[in-house]
Each structure stands twice: as structure tokens, then as C-alpha cells.
Amino acid sequence: MSLSVDRDKFQAADKPTLYKQIRLDIERRILTGEWPPGHRIPFEHQLMTRYGCSRMTVSKALSELAQADLIERRRRAGTFVRRPKFLSAVLTIPDIRAEITTLGRSYGYQLIQCSRRAANAADRARLGVQKAGKVIAISCRHSADGVPFAIEDRLIDLDAVPEAATADFAIEPPGTWLLHHVPWTEAEHSISAIVADSQTAAALDIASGAPCLVIDRHTWRSARTLTAVRLVYPGESHKLVARFKGG
């Protein structure tokens, strides 16, 4: 029986070796905006005199930053801070409201239910937390041009996200609010298919027994659960598309 031995990779204070110090130093300058996107980072031979080490060492630091997509290295030209990377936007959590409005369609939102309560056993299981705390449970519906687009059933851990108590989910969809107010570090999508029961069918205005695509999303910040949400989409009219490179 292990009490969830979770090796905290954020606190794991690596021994500050030289190349790691260099990497962190440059990373800090980028993240604080001291070196904005497009900025040219000092040449390797300048960095080696600055840090008093060999070129291989600064090269190792820069290589890791390049692999993490924070910088871009171009022969002869130099090394540059990358523009806001698309990869993260790509793997980011979609904001349904933005998704619909950017397609030029009108977005509609109805709050079905919103309650605040102490977490019961089912809530704790769904959030994957041990001890009881307060949660907000929300049911709502998104629509595009008046046609139901998705129904959402969400649980927010109020201990992890106390600010959520002040949000008005009758006006702003919880997903949109969270995206704008709460930073997250990890997320997991679990995608499956179901057939609509009568209640779901009524909410989505489809036939009972029609296929639906389900996304169960769990979101964390530093190993702490923030929210769990289930989104149900009419399965014939919606598709998830993922395009990627490999080889």
C-alpha cells in the first residue's frame, strides 16, 4: 500500500551542473521576456567565454532548449528565441466558444445546472483525489447557430481552484473561464463512443440510440487535479482530427 508515491519532478532540484545552469539561465531570460521571440541569442563562442566553459557544453544546453522548441538554431545565422510555439497551442485544450465563433457561427450557451457541495465518494473517484473537499458541479450545453453542439458535465476541485467560487458560470462557460484564469500543466483526453440515451438525445436534439463521441478530460497542475470534464458530441456530425509528423 503506497500512499501515492509521486516523485515530484518540479521539486526534484537537480544538481546544478554547468550546462543545466546555462540552460536555466537562458530559459529564464526567455520566459521573463528579457529575450523576446525573434531575439538572437549570443553566439556559442560568446557564451563559452561568458560561462567559462567549452563550446560542447553550451552546445548541449542550447540543444536541449532547441529540442524543447524554445529556441531555433540556424547555421551561420545564429540561435533565436522561437515565436510562440504552435505545438503547445496544438496540444492545448480547445475552447469551444472560440472554436465556434472563429468559424463565423453564432455561439450559444445554456447553463443547465450548477451546484456547490462537499465532494461525495463519486466526485472523489472522478477527480482522483483522496480526501473530501468542496467541488463545483456544472452541466451545460453549447450550441452553434442554434443547433446543439455539445453537452458538458464538469467537476471543479474548489480546493485546487478557489477562484472558481467567484466565477459566474451562468454567463461564461466553465471551460472558457478556466482556460483564461487557471494555468494547467498536464491534461489527459480519453476518447470513446457511446449511444445516446434518452436524456442525452433530448439535450443534443438527436435520435435516441444515435452515436456520440465522448471526451473525458482530466486536467492537472503539478500533479494536482483541477477539473474533470465529460464532453458529449453528436458522433456523426463531429470529428476529432489529429495531424502529426513522424517517421
Partner DNA sequence: GGTATCAATATGTCTATACATATTCCTGTG
Partner DNA sequence: CACAGGAATATGTATAGACATATTGATACC
From the list DNA, a second copy, none, partner contacted by residue 88 (C-beta under 5 to 8 A by kind):
a second copy
Task: Indicate which single residue of 118, 125, 170, 191 sits in contact with a second copy (rule: CB under 8 A).
Answer: 191
Is 233 near a second copy (CB under 8 A)? yes
From the list DNA, a second copy, none, partner contacted by residue 235 (C-beta under 5 to 8 A by kind):
a second copy
Angle value at C-alpha 75, between 54 and 32, nearest 5 degrees? 70
In 23-175, beta strands by DSSP E: 40-41, 71-74, 78-81, 107-118, 134-144, 147-157
Task: Indicate which single residue of 212, 226, 228, 229 sits in contact with a second copy (rule: CB under 8 A).
Answer: 212
Helix (H, G, I), strand (E, B) or coil at 145: coil
Task: Kindly give the residue spans of alpha helices, DSSP state H, lying in 52-95.
Answer: 55-67, 86-90
Q: Which is nearer to a second copy, 84 or 168 (CB)?
A: 84
From the list a second copy, DNA, none, partner contacted by residue 128 (C-beta under 5 to 8 A by kind):
none
Angstrom distances, CA of residue 204 to CA of 171, 210, 232: 20, 10, 9
Distance CA 62, CA 79 (A): 8
Task: Indicate which single residue of 31, 36, 38, 54 sits in contact with DNA (rule: CB under 7 A).
Answer: 54
Is 13 near a second copy (CB under 8 A)? yes
Q: Which amino acid is at 201?
A: A
Q: Which three cell numbers stand for residue 72?
A: 531555433
Element at 215 (helix H, strand E) = strand 211-221
Closest approach, Cβ 232 to DNA, in A, equals: 41
- Per CB under 7 A, residues contacting DNA are 14-15, 17-20, 41, 43-45, 52-57, 59-60, 62-63, 66, 73-79
- Per CB under 8 A, residues contacting a second copy are 1-9, 13, 24, 64, 67-68, 86-88, 90-94, 96, 99, 150, 183-195, 209-214, 221, 233, 235-236, 238-247
